[in-house]
Amino acid sequence: MAQAKKTLPVPAPLGDDAVREEFPRDWTDIRGHTSIIRRLRALAAAEHLPHALLLSGMEGIGKRRTARVLARTLLCERAGDAPCGHCDACRTMAAGVHPDYFETAPEARGKSAAMIRTEAVRDILIAASGAPVAGRRRIILIDGADAMNETAANRLLKTIEEPMGEVLFLLVTSAYDAILPTIRSRAVRIAFGTLTRAEIEAALRERGTENAATIAALADGSLGRAYALAAEGLQLRDEALALLVQLPKLRVEDIWAHAETIGTRTHAERTAWIGFLQMALRDLLVLHENGAAELCHTDRREELAALLPQLTRADLFTLMEEARQLSQRFAANVNPALQTEAFLLRARHNMTSSLPSAFPA
Ligand SMILES: [Zn+2]
């Protein structure tokens, strides 16, 4: 899936090879975001573009896809508001060898994993400093633009301020606040919202995904997350919910064993696991308040509702706070098994303390 000569490996959303996406052909390959697309098409058709666009929003919602289609549109020889798909420029883009298109992303693995190397930024800026070879401009897409260190970001800033020739930077980030303020102030921000459940469900159904509605509800507005869930299956989610349901009856030894298991998981799995628990707690709060809000675990309403007699509203808020803290500790990667054990013991206590006496405290 390499695109253009200078392309580095692009990690898929959530880092799963199974959900690697194809390079999109045109605007119809993007889900949702209709008003953003309308705006970008108008800018492209009018040739009215700043030196840098900053596409921001949560992970897995189509920011990079949108940036790529914009790049195709702007490099197409027809100079319209969409790539024609037939001209030389469109064909070389499709083959991944357009001489005026450059793309970089954080390293997928190794010493500088999750970082954009300073050398990668330097190389791309050198490559982009000449005049366009085939088109009217050069286009540089930097995915995960927040992952540049300060040296790299400052180099980039200098080029944005004093571009040599026609060059457009497409900066993509799911961590807008982590972008240097000096870069933010020189780029035009395009802020992406999340996708609706219906949009995600439709995309999953088109791929023939089983449990499309369940997965769409768990995806939290992110198509990338939905595809990852579809590829990985719901086992981790089912485990997390089963543990929550059984928790009041578990012995300390069982809790040790569960915590141990969580400790052996990968960081991504642990993060997903606590995320599923957090969604369950949010669902419980919705059920508690008889709210009309949709549940995340739509398919598990009964099971969750059965837990309600054991949890007051205050209990739920306590548990949500504890889960939030556990999630932060996972991020800091400090002895996850021990942290999980402490969380589960406290959660069990929380779930049993409002009960008369049937369960061990
Ligand atoms: Zn074309």
Q: pLDDT tens, 57-79?
A: 999 999 999 999 999 999 999 98
Give tens-digit pLDDT for 3-51: 444 443 333 333 333 344 678 999 999 999 999 999 999 999 998 888 8
- Secondary structure letter of residue 148 according to DSSP: B
pLDDT for res 69: 97
User: For position 359, what pLDDT does the model report?
Assistant: 47
Report which secondary-structure segment, H or E, holds 51: none
Distance 80 CA to ligand 1 centre (A): 9
Distance 106 CA to ligand 1 centre (A): 29
State the distance from the centre of ligand 1 to the C-alpha of 24, rounded, in angstroms. 14
The Cα 272–Cα 249 span in angstroms is 24
Q: pTM of the predicted model, to two decimals?
A: 0.76
* Domain boundaries of the chain, sorted by first residue: 13-193, 234-353
Q: Which residues pair with 52 in a beta bridge?
A: 169
Tell me how far the alpha carbon of residue 135 lies from the centroid of ligand 1, in angstroms.
11
* pLDDT for the residue numbered 354: 63
What's the gap in Å between 41 CA and the centre of ligand 1?
14
Q: What is the pLDDT of residue 26?
A: 94
| Residues 232, 225 contacting (CB under 8 angstroms) | no
Long-range contacts of 7-12 (CB under 8 A, 24+ apart): 7/96, 7/102, 7/103, 7/104, 8/103, 8/104, 8/105, 8/107, 8/120, 9/105, 9/107, 9/108, 10/64, 10/103, 10/105, 10/143, 11/105, 11/106, 11/108, 12/224, 12/228
Distance 91 CA to ligand 1 centre (A): 7
How far is the centre of ligand 1, averaged over its atoms, from the C-alpha of 79 (Å)?
Answer: 8
Q: Which CATH architecture has domain 234-353?
A: Up-down Bundle (1.20)
Task: Measure 83 CA to ligand 1 centroid, in angstroms.
Answer: 5
CA of 45 to the centre of ligand 1 (A): 13
AA letter at 3: Q
Q: Does domain 13-193 have CATH number 3.40.50.300?
A: yes
Report the C-alpha dihedral over residues 55, 59, 63, 68, rounded to 10 degrees: 120
84 CA distance to ligand 1 centroid (A)?
4
Predicted confidence at residue 360, as pLDDT, reads 47
Single-letter amino acid, residue 205: R
Q: Would you tell me the crossing angle of helices 252-264 and 336-353 to the nearest 10 degrees?
A: 140
For residue 99, how far is its CA from the centre of ligand 1 (angstroms)? 15
> Ligand 1 centroid vs 46 CA: distance in angstroms?
16
Between the CA of 288 and the centroid of ligand 1 the distance, in Å, is 55
Centre of ligand 1 to C-alpha 213, Å, is 37
Q: How far is the CA of 90 from the centre of ligand 1 (A)?
A: 4
The residues of the chain scoring below 70 in pLDDT are 1-21, 291-292, 354-361
Determine which helix (DSSP H) or strand (DSSP E) holds 320, and give its type and residue range. helix 313-332
With a CB cutoff of 8 Å and minimum separation 6, the contacts of 229 are 215, 218, 219, 237
The backbone torsions φ and ψ at residue 170, rounded to the nearest 5 degrees and listed phi first, read -110, 105
Which pLDDT does position 21 carry in this prediction? 61
Give me ligand 1 centre to Cα 341, in Å. Answer: 58
